[in-house]
Amino acid sequence: MADEPAIARRKADHLEVAASGQAEFQRPTLLDDVHLVHQALPELAVDAIDLGTMLCGHRLAAPLVITGMTGGTADAGAINRAIAIAAARVGVAFGLGSQRAMAEHAELEATFQVKDVAPDVVLIGNVGVVQAQAMGVAAVAELARKVGADLMAVHLNPAQEMIQERGDRDFRGAIDTIARVQDALGVPVIVKETGCGISAEAAARLRAIGVAAVDVAGAGGTSWVAVEATRAAAGSAARDLGMELWDWGIPTAVTTAICAAAGLTVIASGGIRSGHDIARALALGATCGGMAAPVLRAYRAGGSDGARALLERVVGAIRTVCLLTGSARARDLASAPRHLGPELRGWLASIGGGTGAANP
């Protein structure tokens, strides 16, 4: 449509590039460096394994979050509603994409509304920290209220913005903004990266202002630097810079261990592709694993039922890994015997990130 807001066109581009897989990191999450030890005598019944997980005061049936993807277009609205229904049926949390679009264009609000079709879903709202600073705490609270958010993610994406045409360039005041939002908002706040991970230094600063939970969104899945590089015009400075920094970020396994060692509640996302990946993240100290692109692709292939089938397979795999490690509860994976491979151990040794769980 000729009068379609520019932000809606950008969101549509983001969806297509992310779904296509052409903007994936070229280096791994390092979750493959987490080797859980097989227990031939688990002394457990699979149906008795407890996957129930508390996330910021909300109980999930399994330690899984569908992390924020989209909103702002008709297609995005249909995706949000269909996947929210699937999430509610499986008993896992669902995150919206950035609500900046509805803040700037009231007519796009409906594309973020899911509670009418999935009233029981644990819903995570979403706003960028730069936008939160500009609009003020009251407006952020209104975004949460309008969609019925149970939790609110404040996202950090400086690397993506540096590649995006007319993206944000001034990131001063972010920590103060997060502190104000957290103090004034009526729902718990999750600080969320968008594909580059959260460092030990950032984790310490967040802990110092009382942040309890983070979505680390580490390197290894969809690179939003790469998404913007793919969108940029051929031969442009943005395309060249994005190609240069395509793999920028902290691997998901590393940032998960770092943030867990800092005492934060961790959603481990960024290249999570299976229940086995989530189990390995839980072994590093995560509370939940987060997925986005695989769920989007499952929806594209089979609608809400396709997304639900994927979620059920992921949950089933977590349950199986629990059995095979002798873990009666999902949270027991944090103390299950495991071996860390050399690259992950090297990262954690060099940056003082610990081992992320009880058994080194």
pLDDT score, position 5: 75
Confidence check: pLDDT of 238 > 90: yes
Domains and CATH numbers, the chain: 6-351 (3.20.20.70)
pLDDT score, position 355: 56
Confidence check: pLDDT of 356 > 60: no
Least Cα distance to 150 among 126, 130, 174 occurs for 126
pLDDT score, position 69: 85
Longest dimension (CA), the chain: 64
Question: What contacts 4, CB < 8 A, 6 or more positions away?
Answer: none
To which residue do tokens 């944090």 refer? 334
Residue 266's H or E segment, with its range, is strand 265-268
How far is Cα 154 from Cα 87, in angstroms, rounded to an integer?
21
pLDDT of 62-118, one tens digit each? 999 999 988 989 999 999 999 999 999 999 999 999 999 999 999 999 999 999 999
How far is Cα 30 from Cα 254, in angstroms, rounded to an integer?
7
Q: Classify 184 as helix, strand or coil.
A: helix
Q: Classify 260 as helix, strand or coil.
A: helix
Q: How far is CA 24 from CA 32, 65, 96, 299, in A?
A: 17, 20, 21, 19
pTM for the structure as a whole? 0.94
- Compute the average pLDDT of residues 116-131: 97
Region class of 53: left (phi > 0), else alpha (psi between -120 and 50), else beta: beta
pLDDT score, position 17: 73
Confidence check: pLDDT of 231 > 70: yes
pLDDT score, position 1: 39
- Which has more confidence, 354 or 125? 125
For all residues of the chain together, what is the average pLDDT? Answer: 93
